[in-house]
Amino acid sequence: MQPICAAARRRRLPVVLDGDRRTVENDPLFRLATHVIFSSQCLRETTGTADLAEGLKHIVCNTNAFIAVSNGPKDILYLEGDAVRRLPVFSITAVDTIGAGDAFHGGFALALAEGQSEVEAMHLGAAVAGIKCTRLGGSAGTPRRSEVEALIAQYRLPVAAQ
C-alpha cells in the first residue's frame, strides 16, 4: 500500500486512509496520507487512550494529514490546528451498521474529489452512512445521491469546538 500512496502523493492526489485496524502511532502511512479518518475503536487501540480527542492529539505528532475520528451515532471529532472540533452526525434509527464505515469513507472521498472542504466532506459522508444504517445489507443499503442531498437539506449541522 505504501508504494501506491507514495505515487499518489507525488502526483499531488488526495490519499484518504481509513483507520479501521489497530496499528502504531507512527505508522508510515500516516505520513503519506492527506486525510486519515479513524473508527473510534481503531484510534483507541492504536493510541492506547480511551479519550478520542487525546487520541487525535497523539496521532497529529506523526502526520501533516487532516485527521478525524468517527464514533458511530456520536459526533465526529477532528483537529483544526490545535483545536478539537465536533461535527454532529444525523439522528437516525439504525437497523444495520454493516458497511457504515465504508459508506462514510466513500461519501467523504467523493466530496473531496468534487472540491468540497473536509467539513463538507465529513457531512456528506455522515449522511451517506446514516442512510445506509437505516437499511439492511452492506453495499445493498447504499443510498442514491438524491437521497443524501435530501437528508442534508433537512439539517444544518453546526460545527462546535470541544
Task: Please determine, for residue 158, whether its predicted confidence score (pLDDT) is greater than 90.
Answer: no
Residue spans of alpha helices (H) in 61-137: 100-113, 118-133
Checking if the pLDDT of 140 tops 80, the result is: yes
pLDDT of residue 157: 56
Contact status, residue 124 vs residue 108, Cβ threshold 8 Å:
yes
The 10s digit of each residue's pLDDT in 97-120 is 999 999 999 999 999 999 999 999
Q: What is the CATH number of the domain that holds 88?
A: 3.40.1190.20
Closest-CA residue to 131 (of 110, 67, 157, 139): 139
pTM for this model (two decimals): 0.92
What CA–CA distance (Å, rounded) separates 158 from 2?
36
Q: Domain span at residue 154? A: 2-161
What was the pLDDT predicted at 138? 82
R_g (Cα) of the chain, nearest Å: 15
Annotate 10-64 with DSSP letters as a single string: HTT---EEEE-S---TT-HHHHH-SEEEEEHHHHHHHHS-S-HHHHHHHHHTT--
pLDDT band at 51 (very low <50, low <70, confident <90, very high): very high
pLDDT computed for residue 154 by the predictor: 87
State the total domains in the chain: 1
pLDDT, residue 94, reads: 94
